Structure 1
């Protein structure tokens, strides 16, 4: 669902779009750009297609705004994005609360299993993990560039921990997402994990 339509369904106006575009266009971003947000909107719409119009609009607005603040500060970025959505969109309170809570759910990528809106958003946000190898590689390079403030050894150990954590759990909440992305995601994550483990100074 496009920005103007989704916001209108929820009782707001699309006036925040220029600021949203500007934020996603910040020069330090490499992966978390407007293209990423648009991909999450597209994939979450597919996963939410059985929901009603209002619910689909809530998912769309959350997808458009979930990374509107991004400074490579996990947790703080999501909380700041949720605040931005609350301050900028002027939605009806019941819808605004839901959008904000969906954005906050992306901090730990967790929500009650029966939450269909969170399932659509969270699975779509991880769709890149199951992308073809070359697209996954571009994503991994982009995220590393966004975290350029960290030296290689710190990045390596942090990335290994993230990859191990993702491989240790079920990535996708819905059957549809698992069928579409899970196999490729496991292969991509495993290949990147092998790469970073091989870069350890004590690797044999």
Structure 2
């Protein structure tokens, strides 16, 4: 059993859930769908690493961690209901046994990134999900290429317009990261990365760094 599997099963069980091995098997199956390139277990692993590095500042780290595990479990490229369907997946497996299930669902919904979260736990979930924006330039580019690969339905021109809208909206915020800790860690580099990307047109790739 992999370290990630053991970590999830232990957390699921300690939170009140049952059938942890079956839950993880289904979760891993979904995160390894062939249409996925960015929204994979690799993304979740990085979210967990960032949670571990900010753990002491997070009010309810176990609840935040479960939300991070489940926030992209359902991902259909271009769909507008991925978060809601991820919530449904979580509720189906939790079956009312996890006391913090309502809060976990609220945090998953917050990863739509359409409204500003108000509770600290939600802010950490959202910030950690967006840590990619504040990564090293090479990593930022590689993740951009993975995100692009998930939208074969769009040609380069259409995807460029779509991505520009998304990234411009992040850049227009007073703060990309809501928590002071994540703001200090990633804000400056994230803004540099977004400005760099918006100054370029697709197709581009990691060799353009």
Q: TM-score, normalised by structure 1?
A: 0.88
Q: CA deviation at 1:87?
A: 0.6
Q: CA RMSD in A?
A: 2.1
CA distance in 2, matches of 1:107, 1:51: 20
Measured after TM superposition, the shift of residue 44 of structure 1 is 2.6
Deviation at 1:156, TM superposition (A): 1.3
Does structure 1 retain, via aligned residues, the 8 Å contact 2:17–2:98?
Answer: no
Question: Counterparts of 1:132 and 1:92 in 2: how far apart (Å)?
Answer: 40
For the Cα contact (< 8 Å) 2:160–2:201, is it kept in 1?
yes
Structure 2 equivalent of residue 107 of structure 1:
112
18-27 or 81-90, which deviates more: 81-90
Selected match of 2:164 from 157, 160, 164: 160
| Deviation, structure 1 residue 7 | 1.2
State the partner residue of 1:38.
45
- Please, which of 25, 43, 53 is the counterpart of residue 18 of structure 1? 25
Which of 70, 83, 86 aligns to 2:88? It is 83
SS at match of 1:135: helix
Residue 187 in 1 paired to residue 192 in 2?
Answer: yes
Give the TM-score of the pair, scaled to structure 2: 0.86
Kept after mapping to 1: 8 A contact 2:127/2:177 = yes
Where in structure 1 are there 5+ consecutive unaligned residues?
200-204
Distance in 1 (alpha carbons) for counterparts of 2:177 and 2:133: 10
Contact 1:130 1:185 in 2 (8 A): yes
Q: Could you list the runs of 5+ residues in structure 2 that have no partner in the other structure?
A: 205-209
Aligned residues: 196
